[in-house]
Amino acid sequence: MNTGLDRARILIEALPYIRKFNRQTMVIKYGGHAMVDEKLKKGFALDIILMKYVGLNPVVVHGGGPQIGEFLSKMSIKSNFVRGHRITDEKTIDVVEMVLAGKVNKEIVATINQHGGQAVGLSGKDGHLITAKRLQFISNHDETGDKPDNPPEIIDIGLVGEVVSIDNRIIKSLIDNQFIPVIAPVGVGKDNETYNINADLVAGHIASSLKARKLILLTDVEGVLGRDGNLINSLTAEDANRMIADGAIKEGMIPKLQCSLEALKGGVEKVHIIDGRKEHTLLLEIFTDKGVGTEIVPN
């Protein structure tokens, strides 16, 4: 009896959020462990389907770094990294596009469709969705041990891109026709060259272009942690900037927070950084009073 009542209470708790977010767009960056573990992959698909069925408009942007690394290894193509960026030559970009837009994207689409959803896979090359340019990567001589009075050096990391513009018409068309867009972070340059782009950045730009109600980043950590190692439930943009500046935020969380701040500037109402290693973490974030992870809000 208690189990039945608990389930009823969960549904009642979710009701105001279902009403509040009806017909609202939410961009979800899907990556990390949630894309590898079979149980989590199924759970993610079910979460996205439920969001769609109760009236939300989920848009999925996915990564695929481990899968790219696995294929490159099989093809005996060595991967080199500069400060977390994979150096991407023409041979590597072919593999990146094949894995992201071909294998990974279609697997996500198939999983969603298998469980009752209607998903459509896209890359940034479809419908001029993502126009990109080569990322200008500037070395920091202080980090490399060079003399600090040496001028900064631009390092060529190949066909790694940054977003120039988003043409969201194809996304809006899919949403209007009740499909779930699933987007691979591959962009196209002015000379038709292909660029590999960080999925967090793509998700942020797409969320801004759609004026999404929320941008949700699935990660392999609990959320943003303070110096004491404890989870911070809520941050303002000012707090986040201060924590980055004073070194409280380090390594992989810095680009996620920077992406979050840019999305807020672009009109996104809230950004959430949540733990994708937990089952149904999306539903817990969106439809419960306490939520999970860290929310970042404007000042």
- pLDDT tens, residue order, the chain (299 aa): 467 788 888 888 999 999 999 999 999 999 888 888 899 999 999 999 999 999 999 999 999 988 998 889 898 888 788 766 788 888 899 999 999 999 999 999 999 999 999 999 999 999 999 999 998 877 664 444 455 556 667 777 889 999 999 999 999 999 999 999 999 999 999 999 999 999 999 999 999 999 999 999 999 989 999 888 899 999 999 999 999 888 888 777 888 998 999 999 999 999 999 999 999 999 999 998 878 899 999 98
Q: What is the pLDDT of residue 22?
A: 94
Q: β-pairing, 25-30 with 57-62?
A: parallel
Which pairs from 279-284 meet CB under 8 Å and 24+ separation? 279/39, 279/40, 279/43, 280/43, 280/46, 280/47, 281/47, 281/218, 282/28, 282/44, 282/47, 282/48, 282/51, 282/216, 282/218, 283/47, 283/50, 283/51
Tokens coding 176: 């209007």
Rounded to the nearest 5 degrees, what angle is found at the Cα of 23, between the Cα atoms of 20 and 32? 90
What CA–CA distance (Å, rounded) separates 194 from 217? 24
CATH class label, 22-297: alpha beta
- How many CB atoms sit inside 10 A of residue 195's CB? 28
Tokens coding 105: 């994207």
Residue 215 buriedness (CB in 10 A; 0-12 / 13-18 / 19+): buried
Q: What is the pLDDT of residue 143?
A: 47
Domain spans of the chain? 22-297
Phi-psi label, residue 289: left if phi above 0, alpha if psi -120 to 50, beta otherwise: alpha
What CA–CA distance (Å, rounded) separates 53 from 208? 24
